[in-house]
Amino acid sequence: MILLFIGLTASSAFTLSSSPHPAEQIQPLKKKIMGLEFYLQDKKDYKEFCPHIEWIQPKLKVYKDSPKSYLPQGCKPA
């Protein structure tokens, strides 16, 4: 019984080591985090700099797919 358990453990370790490089696994997570940061910053900046401009903030998914600011042009001072 013990030998069978050790064999499964070694097999599992081999499977883990053949997974993608950690940096490749982190990139999608970094992109989502950047999207969340832009989303929250746009929300804050809109309230502070241009609440008089009509703007509907895109959904969080849009920011996660393409992390960038979506504020209307001329909202924030340069």
39-74 pLDDT, tens digit per residue, is: 999 999 999 999 999 999 999 999 999 999 999 999
Domain limits of the chain? 21-71
Q: How far apart are CA 35 and CA 54, in angstroms?
A: 22
Whether the predicted model's global pTM rises above the 0.85 cut? no
C-alpha distances out from residue 59 to 3, 15, 39, 68, Å: 53, 37, 8, 13
14-24 pLDDT, tens digit per residue, is: 445 566 777 78
46-55 pLDDT, tens digit per residue, is: 999 999 999 9
